[in-house]
Amino acid sequence: MQHANRLVIELTGVVKRYGRDTTEPPHRAHALEPHTNGPTGAPLRARALDGVDLQVRAGEIFGFLGPNGAGKTTTIRLLLDLLRPTLGKVRVFGQDPRSAGPALRRRIGYLPGDVRVGTRQSAHELLTHLGQLRGGVSDARIRSLAERLGLDLRAPIRRLSKGNRQKVGLIQAFMHDPELLVLDEPTSGLDPLLQREFLAMVREASDRGRTVFMSSHVLSEVEQVADRTGIIRDGHLVAVESVDELRTRAVRRVEVVFGHDLPDGAFSEVSGLEGAEVHGRTLRGRLTGPADSFVKAAARHEVVSFLAADPDLEELFFTYYAERGGRHAA
């Protein structure tokens, strides 16, 4: 990786406001801060991004995490010049998406958050057309990706299910092997097997030196591939962390059933375990950070079952807010 330190994506002080437009799609509308009135009494325009600074380096897999409506899609659409920033600077490969235009987009593969292609044509027809717009993508390439994801290319797109449309979206994003993949909620609608296939495709792209920027509201899927993650909420980038750091912060609900009743206060002194409650033979609590001391404490007893849930993103955000003295507390 000779360009390891080159920045592929660079956002500096990016603010994005949408007009007070009633035609605003609801998925974005609920994302916005409540309307507040300015000094003149006129409602201020809703703010989707409020001063975001972000850097993604070449060859990196960057996970962009946040609840629905936090500003993930807005950020992604800024990279493709579908939206323009109200304030601040957006750079992709060091270029302004607006002035660099088509030449810059040639180097990007984009998966929209909602793949919509409402035509009678077949998936093969659409993918061939989109390939032509990129200067031609070989038919073999399209077919091998379709085979890999299990997509019937002859089916008319209009009749495809959400999952199959997502496959069409993924194929068109990957088919020209772009230097940068910008993927908005890539796994939504895919079954677990295909999610795994997708993550493999991301890893392969990364191995070829490609940069991947993917958004998600599910921590576990980002955790599996990403090198670093940015966490966004209400238009603020709350934190940028390596996945390892994130993992140590993640809060997991745990539930352990033991073979016998537990003595009072058996787990009260275990580090990382909060809110431990014992009901007969069952222990419930929230585990943060390394699980080591908890597992060793549990191992002293007979364990019948052990459950650690997927880390909850909302709880993760909460730990960041608590740390910051509730500056953005919702």
**Using an 8 Å Cβ cutoff, are 249 and 290 in contact?**
no
Complex with another protein: residue 113 or 285, whichever CB lies closer: 113
Shortest distance, position 90 Cβ to another protein, whole Å? 13
Complex with another protein: residue 25 or 43, whichever CB lies closer: 25
Which residue in the set 128, 195, 224, 282 belongs to the binding site for another protein (CB under 8 A)? 128
> Taking CB under 8 A as the rule, does residue 297 contact another protein?
no
> Taking CB under 8 A as the rule, does residue 18 contact another protein?
yes
Which residue in the set 93, 110, 213, 294 belongs to the binding site for another protein (CB under 8 A)? 110
Question: What does each C-alpha distance from 89 to 9, 94, 105, 181 come to in angstroms?
Answer: 11, 11, 17, 20
How many Å apart are CA 40 and CA 249, to the nearest integer?
Answer: 43
Nearest by Cα to 214 from 200, 238, 230: 230
Stretch that binds another protein, among 35-43, 112-120, 142-150, 210-218 (CB under 8 A): 112-120
Nearest by Cα to 247 from 326, 328, 319, 323: 319
Residues 6+ apart with CB under 8 A from 300: none
Complex with another protein: residue 115 or 238, whichever CB lies closer: 115
How many Å apart are CA 162 and CA 116, to the nearest integer?
Answer: 9
Complex with another protein: residue 116 or 159, whichever CB lies closer: 116
How many residues of this chain interact with another protein, rule: CB under 8 A? Answer: 39
Which residue in the set 57, 105, 165, 228 belongs to the binding site for another protein (CB under 8 A)? 105
Mapping DSSP onto H, E and C, the string for 180-194 reads EEEECCCCCCCCHHH
> Taking CB under 8 A as the rule, does residue 112 contact another protein?
yes
> Taking CB under 8 A as the rule, does residue 82 contact another protein?
yes
**Using an 8 Å Cβ cutoff, are 227 and 197 in contact?**
no
Shortest distance, position 1 Cβ to another protein, whole Å? 26
Complex with another protein: residue 84 or 324, whichever CB lies closer: 84
Helix (H) or strand (E) holding 72: helix 72-79
Nearest by Cα to 217 from 190, 184, 192: 184
Complex with another protein: residue 101 or 209, whichever CB lies closer: 101
Site for another protein in 261-290 (CB under 8 A): none
Complex with another protein: residue 11 or 273, whichever CB lies closer: 11
How many Å apart are CA 204 and CA 92, to the nearest integer?
Answer: 22
Stretch that binds another protein, among 13-21, 254-262, 268-276, 297-305 (CB under 8 A): 13-21
> Taking CB under 8 A as the rule, does residue 120 contact another protein?
yes
Site for another protein in 186-205 (CB under 8 A): none
